[in-house]
Every structure is written in structure tokens, then in C-alpha cells.
Amino acid sequence: MQTLRDEFSFIKSITPTNRFQQQLTIGIGDDAAVYKTSADTEQVVCVDAMVEGIHFRKDTLSPFQIGRKALAINISDLAAMGANPMYYLVTIAIPKTWTDHELQDIYAGMNELAERYKMDLIGGDTVSSKDQLVLSVTAIGIVQEGKALKRSSAKPGDVLFVTGPIGKSAAGLELLQQKEKDKPLTDMEHSCIRAHQEPEPQISSGTYLANLGKRIALNDVSDGLSSEAMELAEASNVQIVMNEEKLNSILPDLQNVEYHQKLKWALNGGEDFQLIGTTSNETFAHLQESSPTTLFDIGFVRAGNASVIMKSANEETVLDKGGYNHFS
């Protein structure tokens, strides 16, 4: 029996070659699926699961933060499509090691974000589990017809941008795993821990970019910058070139941490839930003046076989896809 080794090749292997429903406009291969529901809108649907011991531990996340993060992950996928969140469903598999109070806190964490984004919990399932808690959330949003943002829209000459700092979540996890009792934390260390425990989906940026009606390729940074950039490159059949000097300016400013460790966190750490995208120089110039949040220029797009390049002052290095892989 063959062992599954690579999450991304596995997804490709199960992607259907036929579509049966004419309303489906985007299927497997983007941050969420999109299908037409009315004369002028489309629904956007995504699902993510969190497994105890793999995606979270009780010593790094409270039950409240586990629930909040489970919904935040899905809201981030909606943001990457430019959709407004509307509904969510929850399936939870519960082992005997979890108390009723802890389970209530999980749902309270989800409710904290649901109230902010006016999302309704509309169903799900509750089952038992032998050893690990498993939490699966399905989120549903809405976007104007034809305005969902795809990974496949990047073109040579585009600016490569992100919506915020990258690497803070991985840095926060490292701090939580190595924390020393009674050792005071700096403001930046607190910020990194908060970025890991309570990530903020970039809905305002995603919906703003979609409503512009411009050509913009977009992805959310869940598995690491190198992985998400490669998904843009593969979907658009272009080369994504990151400028190391520009990227350095948005790495976590932590004392006594080597630069290469910070870069590793950004490229492969994941769970930042910022957005990475590309657009024309003209549109990016407009965004710098009008966007509700700051966008950071970290590189450009050029023609060539799908790949991600790190460009420094004197050389270019082809990056591995990297990022978090569930089967590695």
C-alpha cells in the first residue's frame, strides 16, 4: 500500500476532471469554491479541520483560542476570494479528555468572531473520538458575480504584495514552546504570541480588493509564504520573484533572533493569515493611496516556468515549495 507523502500532489490526484453543475465557477484548486446563486451574486464555500496534537495543543492555545482560530482560518480563505462571511457549520469529534466547560469555551471563541462578522451558525455534527479532539468548520460567504479573486490572475510585470507582517505566528509558537516562567516578554514578543493564538483574518482588505474590479491574484498565507507564492505561480504559470531586502523589512523585529531564523519563519512557518497577491503597477499605485490597510511591495512577477525565486543583491535562488505539509 502506497503511503501518502505530499498533501499538494494528493489534492491534485483527487481533483475531478468533469463538472456536472453549471452554477459552479471555481472548484478545487483555490482558497474556496464559488458557485452562482442569483442574478448578481455567487456563494463562496470553504472548509478546514484542526486536529489536536497536529494543529493545536492545550499548552499553547486555550479552548477559547482554539475555537476562535478554527473559524478565523476559514474566514481568511473567504478573504482571499474577496467574499463577505455569512454562515458557518461546525463538526466536532470529542474525546473523554475534554470537559463540557472546555467545549463551551471552544464555541465561545468561534462566536467572538462570528459576532464581529455577523456570521450565523447554521448546523454541523457532534461525534465522539477515541483520543484527539477534531474540529472541522465550513464557512460560507458571498461575493458579487464575477468579482471573486483567483490565484490564476497574475501576469508578468505585476507587483507582488502582502497585507502585513509575515513570520509572526511561527515566532509566537516558538516563544510559547520555549517560554521561561517569570521571564518578562517584550511588546514584540507579546505581539507574535497574539498573532499565533488569535490571528486576524484580512476581510476588509480582501473585500476591498474584490470590489475594485481590477485584475488581482490573491491567496492567504496559511502554510507559509513560499508555499502560497508557489500556488500563485502554478495557477498563473509565471515566476514569482521575492525581493529579500523588501521582505526583510516586514519580518518580526525580535531581539537575539538571527535573520535566517526570521526568514525561515516567514517562508515556511505559516498561519499568518495575511494575504499575498499580485496586480499591475498602475493598480498597486492606486492601492497605496486608497487601500484601507497598508500593502507591502515584496517583489514582482515575470514570465517563465512556474517557480518562486528569492532575489538578493547578487544572486537568485529557486525556493522549494516549503510551508506546512500535512503528509510530511
Residue 30 confidence (pLDDT) = 75
pLDDT one-digit tens code per residue, 269-286: 999 999 999 999 999 999
What is residue 112's predicted lDDT score, i.e. its pLDDT? 96
pLDDT digit string, tens, across residues 8-39: 675 676 676 777 777 777 777 776 778 877 77
- Binding residue positions for ATP: 107, 124-125, 151, 222
pLDDT in tens, 155-187: 999 999 999 999 999 999 999 988 765 678 899
Q: Where are the beta strands (DSSP E) in the chain?
A: 24-26, 33-36, 41-51, 84-94, 120-128, 134-144, 159-162, 216-220, 239-243, 275-279, 296-302, 307-311, 316-318
Question: What residues are designated binding site for Mg(2+)?
Answer: 31, 48, 77, 125, 220, 223
Angle in degrees, CA 317, 323, 325, rounded to 5 = 135
- Give me the torsion for CA of 199, 204, 209, 212, rounded to 10°: 180
| Binding site listing | 31, 48, 55, 77, 107, 124-125, 151, 220, 222-223, 271, 324
Q: Distance (Å, rounded) from C-alpha 80 to C-alpha 63?
A: 26
Q: What is the pLDDT of residues 75-100, one digit of tens each?
A: 999 999 999 998 999 999 999 999 99
Class of domain 151-318: alpha beta
What is the spatial distance between Cα 160 and Cα 33, in angstroms, rounded to a whole number? 24
* Residue 245 burial by Cβ neighbours in a 10 Å radius (0-12, 13-18, 19+): exposed
Could you please state the CATH topology (level 3) that the domain comprising 7-144 is classified under: 60s Ribosomal Protein L30; Chain: A; (3.30.1330)
Q: Are the beta carbons of 185 and 256 closer than 8 angstroms?
A: no
- In this prediction, residue 256 has a pLDDT band, given cuts at 50, 70 and 90, of confident
Is the pLDDT score of 327 beyond 60?
Answer: no
Distance of CA 76 to the CA centre of its chain: 6
pLDDT for 37 equals 78
Where do the domains of the chain lie? 7-144, 151-318
List residues forming the annotated binding site for substrate.
55, 271, 324
Eight-state DSSP code of residue 230? H
